[in-house]
Amino acid sequence: MKNSKKVLLILCTILIAPTFLYSEESKKMSKEIISTDNAPQAIGPYSQAVKTGNLIFISGQIPLDPKTGDLVNGSIEDQANQVLKNIKSICEAAGHSLEDIVKITIFLTDLGNFAVVNDVMKAHFKEPYPARATVEISGLPLGVDVEIEAIVSTNG
């Protein structure tokens, strides 16, 4: 008889406990907005970055100098360096670094700049490198030549 009571208690715990552990409120996705003055402020209805779960999604960054608000109009190398500085600042505002980036997407208006951007990447990242996609597109905000977005893992 004792064993049957234990089995019943275990079954009740298995069947009833989940309804107490997972309320409607806990099912909603939580979002934390990441923002810093050390990267350009959003130029539209979006956040610099959003943290949810163990991931941080950094919005596409363009070569804007956060101190002046001016575009970096130099070479593609100068532009890509500024973009990665902006991404680094957002990572740091979230308590992370470029090393925590697991995926980046690079948007270029000319894939002929691919090799130069690769060299810039090597200057900012160490192995193991993040996963990456590079896409040529017809235009970017404010007529810039490069935009980069990133995903950061907080498991590290």
What is the pTM assigned to this prediction? Answer: 0.82
Alpha helices (runs of H) in the chain, residue ranges in sequence order? 2-21, 24-27, 76-93, 114-124
- Asked if pLDDT for residue 137 goes beyond 90, the answer is yes
Mean pLDDT for 6-17 is 51
CATH superfamily of 29-153: RutC-like (3.30.1330.40)
Six-digit token string for 91: 């990572």
Amino acid at 121: M
- Asked if pLDDT for residue 24 goes beyond 60, the answer is no
Alpha helices (runs of H) in 22-142, residue ranges in sequence order? 24-27, 76-93, 114-124
Q: Hey, which residues does 134 pair with through a beta bridge?
A: 106
Q: How far apart are the first and last CA of the chain?
A: 50
Does residue 87 contact residue 76 with C-beta atoms inside 8 Å? no
Structural domain spans, the chain: 29-153
Mean pLDDT for 88-96 is 98
